Structure 1
């Protein structure tokens, strides 16, 4: 097998309707400059693995059990396995294991399979996690930790297995190993699921902002920054005279949106730029751990909004998001007779509403 196996840079074809697969499409990449795909992929996916490690290390607190948390861990494992596979193939070049021969061709093949699999998992992860939070936060269904961990593990394995099975049996247009021409091109799957999901998330944020614009302005005017236990805390105050608990769904939405954007505003801006530019991102990069944690925070915020005014949540509920301290914007809206002392034992780490 020739070592000059080349990637071809992205160029949107005039007709790609025949390549649609599960709300996505493949783009034939073309470029006059030949590059070895193994080195490119090792560089890109190594960066992704490092990003996964950094995002896990950046978590502010111990994470409680959640389906999205298991999805993030499984995605990081698959990324590492893909990196290990292509590094092994690149190092040994041409070898056989259990009767299967591996060459540079399989670098492209494995990445294509992973791209297709990632590309069709955006919506399943989103819907499954949404159902999880609806049952556990909105409906307050309590499941023991051991049972929930086992249930989430089975669910994640079923999602991955179903996605891989669909990809392997569907007509994806993968290159034929016996076709010499196919060794000079690599088609990567571009998921429309992530595109439309991003549109929904961004428009929801803008709609909420429009609905509670006046409340957000009032919160901004009351903004105070102080240091507490060597941590910087952002405080927002509601107008004097308000009784506990604070009333008003718009005020809750404003508090939730402030907490959400206080952590994820750079990522929201990035998503807007991607939408405006209609950027085509290969599936193996489009699905990543920061994206899943972004969805996780969005779903938790929506769940708190749906739960209002009967917000009765526990420390375990708040610990499902490792980046946003939701408790400090939700506590003022909780009933005063609820036992809140256990919820106040942790030092505020981001945004507090008082």
Structure 2
């Protein structure tokens, strides 16, 4: 899709404001998880990208380290970072899911330094993948660099794929809990098993209620985007608002899949959703 450079700058500026606003409001606990640390790194990278694109756009005839700067470099930089953002989506989901799994099961708690190292490693590996292994090819228009007013920008469908996949997993966990609640156990263990099944079902329903009550509006927006042929620009796809939603969704999936099976018998599972979502 072709997007005016002015619109790209406004989009990046708004994204930076949103990123830093969410980082500020969650500053007390943002370093307690991998996604929190990654959100800070994303805010830093987005800020550097915005400043770089603005400088390239304003200094179209300037020079840097012997390299002549043109508006072609604006489009090139936006396309490269957009591809890196798209490449990062699934690795971030996997690492964040493992982080929440180990935290919920109390097997291991990642430190801030380890989360920072993991975030940096993901950025480096994703960048190397884009340059060395992927089939990414920049798209440049055949016009004089002074006359460039629009950039070809790739769109991403990763957000819809990830949200759909995790919501399906969450639905399957809810159906599994309901099936266990309706299952008839042996008579000698009937009371105990029925009590556990009821607790499991209540736990899953409570988790789903909190999640849906928190993110109902965003779920509607995602459903509209899924139905309409509207592409999300790749350079806007990875942002702190999406990471907040992803964080809650991953916690809900882990809680429904793990906590009812391992912690409800100890009587502590009912409080977990409200603490973590």
TM-score by length of 2: 0.78
Shift of 1:351: 6.0
Task: Could you tell me which runs of 5 or more consecutive residues in structure 2 were left unpaired when the two chains were aligned.
Answer: 179-194
**1:5-25 deviation line (CA, Å, top 9, x unaligned):** xxxxx3xxxxxxxxxxxxxxx
Residues 1:173 and 2:124 aligned together = no
Residues 1:258 and 2:223 aligned together = no
Counterpart in the other structure of 1:220: none
Counterpart in the other structure of 2:266: 335
Aligned counterparts of 1:278 and 1:201: Cα–Cα separation in 2:
22
Residues 5-44 of structure 1 mapped to structure 2, 5 A cutoff: 10=1, 29=2, 37=5, 39-44=6-11
Residues 1:162 and 2:125 aligned together = yes
Aligned counterparts of 2:83 and 2:30: Cα–Cα separation in 1:
29
Task: Work out the number of aligned pairs and report it.
Answer: 254
Shifted more, 288-297 versus 246-255: the winner is 246-255
Residues 1-354 of structure 1 mapped to structure 2, 5 A cutoff: 10=1, 29=2, 37=5, 39-59=6-26, 62-138=29-105, 140-143=106-109, 148-169=111-132, 170-175=134-139, 180=143, 186-207=151-172, 247-305=198-256, 306-311=258-263, 335=266
**1:265-287 deviation line (CA, Å, top 9, x unaligned):** 11111111111114211111111
Alpha carbons of structure 1 residues 245 and 171: separation in structure 2 relative to 1, 3 Å: closer
Question: Would the aligned equivalents of 1:117 and 1:164 in 2 still touch at CA under 8 Å?
Answer: yes
**1:170-229 deviation line (CA, Å, top 9, x unaligned):** 43221469x54795763322234333212213334555666779xxxxxxxxxxxxxxxx
Counterpart in the other structure of 2:184: none
Aligned counterparts of 2:252 and 2:27: Cα–Cα separation in 1:
18
Question: Would the aligned equivalents of 2:9 and 2:50 in 1 still touch at CA under 8 Å?
Answer: yes
Across the aligned residues of Structure 1 and Structure 2, the Cα RMSD in angstroms comes to: 3.2
Question: Would the aligned equivalents of 2:75 and 2:140 in 1 still touch at CA under 8 Å?
Answer: no
TM-score by length of 1: 0.63
Alpha carbons of structure 1 residues 158 and 351: separation in structure 2 relative to 1, 3 Å: closer
Shift of 1:61: 5.5
Alpha carbons of structure 1 residues 151 and 195: separation in structure 2 relative to 1, 3 Å: same
SS in 2 for 1:131: helix
Shifted more, 263-272 versus 301-310: the winner is 301-310
Shift of 1:256: 0.5
SS in 2 for 1:308: helix
Question: Would the aligned equivalents of 1:211 and 1:250 in 2 still touch at CA under 8 Å?
Answer: no
Alpha carbons of structure 1 residues 334 and 254: separation in structure 2 relative to 1, 3 Å: same
**1:127-172 deviation line (CA, Å, top 9, x unaligned):** 111111222222x1234x7xx2222111111111111112223432
Q: Which has the higher contact order (CA 8 A, sep 6+)?
A: 2
Aligned counterparts of 1:100 and 1:158: Cα–Cα separation in 2:
29
Question: Would the aligned equivalents of 2:23 and 2:39 in 1 still touch at CA under 8 Å?
Answer: no
Question: Would the aligned equivalents of 2:215 and 2:245 in 1 still touch at CA under 8 Å?
Answer: yes
Q: Which has the higher helix share?
A: 2
SS in 1 for 2:63: strand
Shift of 1:80: 0.7
